[in-house]
Chains A and B, each alone.
Chain A
Amino acid sequence: MAKEYDTVIGLEVHVELDTKTKIFCGCSTAFGAEPNTHTCPVCTGMPGSLPVLNKQVVEYAISVGLATNCRITGFSKFDRKNYFYPDNPQNYQISQLYLPICTNGFVEITGEDGNNKKIGIHEIHMEEDAGKLIHDEWEDCSYVDYNRSGVPLIEIVSEPDMRSADEVIAYLTKLRMIIQYLGASDCKLNEGSMRADVNLSVREAGSETFGTRTEMKNLNSFKAIRRAIENERERQIDIIEAGEKVIQETRRWDDNKEYSYPMRSKEDAKDYRYFPEPDLPPVVVSEQWIEEIRSRQPEFRDEKMARYIREFDIPEYDADIITSSKKMADIFEATVGEGANPKKVSNYLMGETMRLLKILEKEPEDIHFSPENLARLIKLTDDQVINSSVAKEVFEKMFEEDVNPEEYVEIHGLKQNNDVEGLKEIIKQVITENPKSVEDYHSGKEKALGFLVGQTMKATRGKANPEMIHLLLKELL
């Protein structure tokens, strides 16, 4: 009979902080620039260059630490982590090993059993990101772009407190929401502004000692994380069942092939020779500074939900969904701020927006229509300039390209036809052409009326006001 196994998981989560400049130099962190155009001697490791710490990075790290119940380190230092790789221009990464900025925190999730569960945070430290390697398809070489080199990161190291993929995803979702609410990062897994490495081991159910763990890298979505966890659990159980030993190693997940392989090399000694960074003085965080940052912490989800229900009079159900993402909450408030009816805004976000995100496999953070345009669209329907089916079409366009609905409706001639006399003519025509339905209506079949409304809409190419058609049809019949 097969043994039962428990899975033990800890995460190392890297989050790119949303600062304007890099951690140690005044280069822009903006995405999408031409290769190496956001670089300087510091972030390309030129001889004689020296790092100077971006204060905002420390403040973001502290604010994430406070929001995850961490102890903030009063006297914190940077260390050098030495390893050779071309994406790392100095061949050492400035990071924190011995005295990280935050330690000993936790976040609460809903555990496997449905009860609240604390996931411990061992530490949060600050470090610099690496550059990007681009591989040449044709020639035997790669290219380095240092635009991302020196972009600030925090690494959030959890305790090995998770026991399943569900818990891992609950933890990541919670962490992401906290950081998004803080405005410290957009935390997009697919774009790499949030990256999770999974440390996983298995042990016989009930055992108190940990098994040998592996570290899994290259997980770019929740789906990949789930698959990789399940795959790695099975792989380790197979090894143990075969009487062999799990090797402690780093593995790379290939989500297309749904398997992982070891990232081993005899040139990779894994001996990082950490030592205190002599070019950076320590960071001293006073109680006063902590209090200043605490007082600037934004409204978190629970407070926001309560306020939405109170202030905007929307149902709890709506508030819950809208506040599940900082981005959605921001759009909601901004759109309401433009004068739109809160419930109508909420309907758009919970309905069409969620539907389209799901179809396109996107996250709320990917929304790029503006609150102004959503407010305009709602106003167009309120004023009966367009009908609801046109509104749906315009919204889809807005979701794709953030078009201005007023202009779009104008250009594409989508205004609702409110010309009563003209409409009457069309309806008369429809009545003449559909004697069977007219007869059915008169014999009490209400459905027939719907058919006639539809025919009229078709004849007006969707531009007529359906309520008006309804009234006029009844009158003319």
Chain B
Amino acid sequence: MDAIQQNLLEQVAGLHEIPAGAYNIRANGQMAGRNTTANIDIVTKEDKAGIDIRIKPGTKSESVHIPVVLSQSGLKESVYNDFYVGEDADVTIIAGCGIHNGGSQTSEHSGIHRFFVERNARVRYVEKHYGSGDGSGERVMNPTTEIHLAEGAYLEMETVQIKGIDSTRRVTKAEVGRGASLVIKEKIMTHGRQSAETDFTVNMNGEDSGVSLVSRSVAKEHSRQMFRSRIIGNASCHGHSECDAIIMDEANVSAIPELTANDIDASLIHEAAIGKIAGEQLMKLMTLGLTEKEAEEQIVNGFLK
């Protein structure tokens, strides 16, 4: 792996070296490394690009890293990864994709991740997207995440896109079973002429299921963002979605929340706020000696932390 790919790997997965535990590293469409453990198996799909990750029931405190890096300009790929998480397992899954585009052609990665989380299993899923390179070619990333939570299962998804992705359409669909809960935390920053579209659909199918969707974003310069969330309560459940955006410069942000209750005991809440940085926040930090630009950076970094 070259220095560019190693830098991407560090950005998206925080990896300086080969990770402990199970991993599968994909570089420019090829497998660049894989490790399995006694409890976690990774198998290449035969019918299409991608892998199946099988985590045995009862696996505790193990992690799986599946980073993807693209440094070849013009490469376009769709990758299908399926995660099967056995009953009572408790694992951390770190995905992430970095694109370095130094050329003039569009580089594109579409990752389709499906999670089948069995009874009472717990998953922490971290996904980071990052782009670099000064070529004129676009860096495009379209992640799709499909989540199936069985009774009592729990999945927490942290998804972050802070830099360098020109265009993204992020689709997340979930089915939440009885007593299961889903937590999604999304952080996005766009600048230049980038566009980011987020689309969540969560079906709350089981009694006492719960979902919390929190999106925080900053749109700078001429970038555009669209946040759409749909929560459908088909049983007694608690659903909460929150979209909080800072708009700057000439940017454009839309938030479209949708709540549907098909059960009298479905309790659903949506909060959305879009606004510029409050003048008094800038002023306060300036009275502490920061310049306006420094104050703005502090506020944005804190907001997306």
Q: Is B one of A's binding partners? A: no
User: Interface on B for A, CB 8 Å cutoff?
Assistant: none
